[in-house]
Structure 1
């Protein structure tokens, strides 16, 4: 057998002594002296000369657009005046555009929503032909009509509670059937007067076609309480004939 190969001894690591630093300013955290050239403590690594903390900002400086820090004499007053002018302009614009914006919103809701019929609780006509009362205009039957003796006659519909009138459908003439439509005279112009809950009156001129069948008319009027229709511009009116309106239907937003 061969003799074992000798194993070399492991090297021994000897720590070198770190020279102590000279006297200096003591650390504000652990009181260890450090040389004046040091920025951080040689023992705890704390900052030897910490920078002074900035004074806390007032609450209004923490809100945009005042959040950005500014230097003295850097146009702070001008910027505040500009911001104030912008805020005032936005308020004025919102005030002026509010009616138009609200109307646009309501029209959009009318188009996106569904309409449902609403029935008046009261009907009163300024004049009626015997046998053809104004209540025939809301009975749901297109072969019965309200007969008015002459142009200028009106009918007023009263509703139980205010609503938004999105559509109005008028069936002109004596009937929706073509063979009976021209049996009486028709009104080609109708003045619609709408009264709201607070008494405000709004007037709209409606133009009707001289043809049988329902004629839808978009309206988009809010807070409707009463509707008055005045017949104008007759056609086919002659001796022994009168104006006829077969049906009037009202629709509100559901």
Structure 2
């Protein structure tokens, strides 16, 4: 038998150790001498030795069993676990020694960890773009043999259609009933009233005729046009005279501005031929006058006097020419009488007939107002 002692296998990979004093394993490189106890060897019977002296008896020491290994305290942080060595088939393989546990704490062993998913790079938010609709080219409609042609696109349509199947144009012209009017939703047509244009044309023609007549007719015609459009202002006489007056009914009362005072002829009946005259301080262009007949504006009074019915206006101008005009007014109420006399110096009202003439009443004039051209 061989004298070489047997050694225990490597505690990590269970590879046999070739020498008892070997520090590292040849298979995995594990440290084998970490304060480990002496390697237990298997005893074999020794051969008898020859002795010359008394035989020495040697008593072998009893084999000491290895102490059970205390579990290592768990750290707060879980340390990487060392894979357990495969079980050895050798019946004498001892339990892991303390140096193996210490080495597992110092030398980390890689573990099979699941691979973490890759983190995608950050992407800025954007507005999603809607899918664009696909545009298809319009296909030409197939004409119908013997159909009715469209009045717009001339495509033949099947008989009985109301609208063209290609351009939707009505196949039959629309006809509206004048009795029922347009259908709902239809905008009514614009009414062309030509009468207003005729009126406007006549007015324009009249204005043009007046202007042209004034220019071609000479100064009198031009003055007539100016008098028609002139601004009227009150003209006050400086003196009043009359052919005859009743007591307390003086001529100046006809121009005092009050309608409840009046001038009276002092004669009963029509007082035909009696007059009332107003004179101006300087030549005045008279356009019209206002006359209030009777003793008051209210002609329904029982004691009201008679009022002028017809009379003559005799106007004397600055050149000494006398112009006479005949006028007729109603019974009662303020009324307007046109004169249109240039450079007038005096105006005389001569009575002809009267309203409500009575032997117990006299003809009265409450107010007589004159209006001329504005100097501005």
Contact map agreement 2:316 2:323 (CA 8 A) in 1: yes
Cα deviations by residue, 1:97-154 (Å, 9 ceiling, x for unpaired)? 9994322212222222211111111111110011111111111111111101222111
Structure 1 counterpart of 2:347: 227
Structure 1 counterpart of 2:372: 252
1:241 matches 2:361: yes
Residues 70-149 of structure 1: pairs in structure 2 closer than 5 A: 100-148=217-265, 149=267
Structure with more strand by fraction? 1
Query: Normalised by the size of structure 1, how large is the TM-score?
Result: 0.58
The 3 A distance-change label for structure 1 pair 156 and 220 is same
Structure with more helix by fraction? 1
Q: In the aligned structure 2, how far is the partner of 1:195 from the partner of 1:103?
A: 18
The 3 A distance-change label for structure 1 pair 162 and 187 is same
1:179 matches 2:296: no
Q: In the aligned structure 2, how far is the partner of 1:207 from the partner of 1:215?
A: 10
SS state of the match for residue 224, structure 1? Answer: strand
Q: In the aligned structure 1, how far is the partner of 2:290 from the partner of 2:320?
A: 24
Structure 1 counterpart of 2:325: 204
Q: In the aligned structure 1, how far is the partner of 2:373 from the partner of 2:302?
A: 31
CA RMSD of aligned residues (A): 2.0
SS state of the match for residue 323, structure 2? Answer: strand
SS state of the match for residue 247, structure 2? Answer: coil
Q: CA shift at 1:195, angstroms?
A: 0.6
Cα deviations by residue, 1:167-200 (Å, 9 ceiling, x for unpaired)? 1111111111243397111111111111111211
Q: CA shift at 1:240, angstroms?
A: 2.0
SS state of the match for residue 203, structure 1? Answer: strand
Q: CA shift at 1:221, angstroms?
A: 0.8
SS state of the match for residue 233, structure 1? Answer: strand
Q: Which has the higher contact order (CA 8 A, sep 6+)?
A: 1
Q: CA shift at 1:218, angstroms?
A: 1.4
Query: Normalised by the size of structure 2, how large is the TM-score?
Result: 0.40
Structure 2 counterpart of 1:159: 280
Structure 2 alignment gaps of length 5 or more: 1-213
Q: How many residues align?
A: 157
Q: CA shift at 1:235, angstroms?
A: 2.4
